[in-house]
Amino acid sequence: MQNADSISLNKYISDTGFCSRREADNYINQGRVTINERPAILGNRVSDTDVVEVDGEPIKKKIKTVYIACNKPVGVTCTTDRKDPDNIVDYLRHPQRIFPVGRLDKDSDGLIFLTNDGNIVNKILRAGNNHEKEYIVVVDQPITKEFIDKMGNGVPILNTITQKCKVVQEGKSAFRITLIQGLNRQIRRMCLALNYKVVHLKRVRVMNVHLGNLPSGHWRYLTPEEIGLINKMVADSSHTEEASKPKPKPAPVKAIVQQEETAAPAAKKATTGRKESVRPVPPKRVTSYKDFRVKGVKKKKG
């Protein structure tokens, strides 16, 4: 008989702050999770009386929920994989186990959330939740009205057409764009499809949280007001497996594929010989949002 107080195994793992539900499913599929010393499978349910272990180590309930806003520098990778020498977890060196909410390209900088709250991660990332992300982008040539119009009305990339979005010119070669999609390297691909190359891309807002004057390489805790509003914004967001299934894509268009294949060699040629970014200096911790003062970042020894 199933315990009325039991919850799904992936939610149990997520609630401890160990990882997100999706990552928990991966651990389970890999045979790295046990319940009371027996191998776990997807769909298992557990209660507080069960002993859940990952890689032979019991996972404990989190002591405190952490929500962080970080101004990620270029060169840092938004991954928890410690094999990547530039992973964001080692870069921040936070005492609690945290993981990034979504991704921000290694060659882009700006706002990224990190947390140990797997539930909110899933709600924010679920497809169709329409949470805004705002970017400032600099390209390699002067912007035209035609470019702004095309970027805002949809650009053919990855065998689909991007959703309409808000695009505003910010300067001769810069623009501000607000997306609710999260296609792989979406802005860079959109620009490339229109024969522009991104020179600098910075994310300045995620949902209700703005980057503000937070210096590159620094982080701060989200305020209770910011966290409260985020929870309200995701309150009606889907958090089931059905919501995570991708929506049907339009049929591939041959001309779109040809356009990307033509543009790709030119982009590759333009980046040939470019040196890799130097690993940034570890960030200085800001412990209080109420008394937020930025101090100089000390260089890591060795």
Strands 133-139, 219-221: parallel, antiparallel or unpaired by DSSP?
unpaired
On whether both 125 and 17 belong to a single domain, the answer is no
Using alpha carbons only, give the angle 84, 90, 91 rounded to the nearest 5 degrees: 100
| pLDDT, greater one: 284 or 179 | 179
Query: What is the pLDDT at residue 19?
Result: 86
Question: pLDDT confidence of 238, banded at 50, 70, 90?
Answer: low
**How much is the pTM?**
0.63
On whether both 47 and 135 belong to a single domain, the answer is no
pLDDT digits (tens, 9 = 90+) for 154-172: 999 999 999 999 999 999 9
Long-range own/partner contacts, residues 27-35 (CB < 8 A, 24 or more apart): 27/54, 33/9, 35/9
Q: How many domains does the chain have?
A: 2
On whether both 11 and 71 belong to a single domain, the answer is no
Query: What is the pLDDT at residue 128?
Result: 54
On whether both 52 and 156 belong to a single domain, the answer is no
Catalytic member of 25, 105, 109, 117: 105
On whether both 49 and 80 belong to a single domain, the answer is no
On whether both 144 and 193 belong to a single domain, the answer is yes
Torsion 266-270-273-274 (CA) sign: negative
**65 pLDDT more than 70:** yes
**203 pLDDT more than 90:** yes
| Residue 197 included in any domain | yes
**94 pLDDT more than 80:** yes
Angstrom CA distances, 107 to 15, 173, 254, 271, stand at: 32, 19, 30, 12
Query: What is the pLDDT at residue 60?
Result: 76
Average pLDDT taken over every residue of the chain: 82
Here the CATH number for the domain that contains residue 23 is 3.10.290.10
Question: pLDDT confidence of 102, banded at 50, 70, 90?
Answer: confident
Here the CATH number for the domain that contains residue 118 is 3.30.2350.10
Question: For residue 88, what are the domain limits?
Answer: 67-263
Q: Mark which of 58, 75, 97 sits at the end of a domain.
A: 58
On whether both 86 and 222 belong to a single domain, the answer is yes
| Residue 302 included in any domain | no
Query: What is the pLDDT at residue 294?
Result: 39
On whether both 54 and 71 belong to a single domain, the answer is no
Element (H, E) at 23: helix 21-29
Query: What is the pLDDT at residue 251?
Result: 47
Question: pLDDT confidence of 295, banded at 50, 70, 90?
Answer: very low
| Residue 290 included in any domain | no
| Residue 273 included in any domain | no
Give the mean pLDDT of 228-256.
59
Which residue matches tokens 């805790």?
A: 221
**242 pLDDT more than 70:** no
pLDDT digits (tens, 9 = 90+) for 211-225: 999 999 999 999 999
| Residue 298 included in any domain | no
On whether both 259 and 114 belong to a single domain, the answer is yes
CB 262 within 8 A of CB 268: no
On whether both 52 and 186 belong to a single domain, the answer is no
pLDDT digits (tens, 9 = 90+) for 107-132: 999 999 999 888 888 888 775 567 89
Determine what percent of the chain is predicted with pLDDT higher than 70: 75
On whether both 173 and 253 belong to a single domain, the answer is yes
pLDDT digits (tens, 9 = 90+) for 7-60: 899 988 988 878 888 899 999 999 999 999 999 999 999 988 899 999 999 987
Is 25 one of the catalytic residues? no
| Residue 125 included in any domain | yes
On whether both 104 and 125 belong to a single domain, the answer is yes
| Residue 92 included in any domain | yes
Query: What is the pLDDT at residue 204?
Result: 98
| Residue 153 included in any domain | yes
Query: What is the pLDDT at residue 20?
Result: 86
